[in-house]
Amino acid sequence: MPEDIEKLKLKINYNFADKALLREALTHRTYAVENSLPYDNQRLEFLGDAVLEIILSEYLFKLYPDAQEGELTKMRSAMVNQYSLAILARNIDLGAFMITGKGEKENGGCDRDSTLSDLFEALIGAFYLDADLETVKNFILEIVKKEFPDPRKLLLDLNPKGILQEYSQKKWNEPPIYEILSVSGPDHAPVFSVEVIIDEIRAPGTASSRKQAEIEAAKNAIVIISKKDPDCF
């Protein structure tokens, strides 16, 4: 059973006047299908996506007065992708309140990034309808500032290999070297372990494909470099 939705008001510091609207926001389509309900949270998800976009656009516009349109767009995209929104959803333990079908729950849907990000957007849509834009903005920016104090850092996750290559070329005039350390596991589910070498820095990466393993290695290398020089990226 999901958590009592009354507890959610403590997480978001807001008490919904329209409890039916909040319940709709928390209702996954699998539950709606299993119980023949005339609603689920997909329409509110659509609205919440738009509300997030305008709030975060204004926030980034004011936060980075030196940033051009392209960079602002990339930062906003990084803040509203599945991974980032799932982090915001977990901040308020939103998955515990999701009303979902039996199969979805058994398959871990309550903690899946894609499901949590959709759920967060639906909550924002309902929040906007029940309150007002300013109240929703205050809620969103409070957790955004906590989880992503410097949104520019999110750009590192968009293209870590490209960022690492640009840094390496600029600093040492040579590209990073990626080496396969091992390939294990069955043919249908291989595990690639690679290492990226950049000057004296070595960083590992493991994933189900060579490409993704190299991406993970690049991310780890960026973390190592950033600890030595926080302002290098």
Taken in order 100, 103, 104, 107, the sign of the CA dihedral is positive
Residue of 24, 49, 118, 130 with catalytic role: 49
Residue count of the chain: 233
Residues 2, 95 contacting (CB under 8 angstroms): no
Distance CA 219, CA 230 (A): 14
Distance CA 122, CA 125 (A): 5
Distance CA 136, CA 5 (A): 18
Is 49 a catalytic site residue?
yes
Give the SS3 label for residue 81: coil
Is 121 a catalytic site residue?
yes
The encoded tokens of residue 217 equal 């290695």
The encoded tokens of residue 177 equal 């070297």
With the CA atoms of 78, 79, 80 and 85 taken in that order, what torsion angle do they form, in degrees rounded to the nearest 10? Answer: 120
Residue of 121, 130, 195, 216 with catalytic role: 121
The residues that are catalytic are: 49, 121
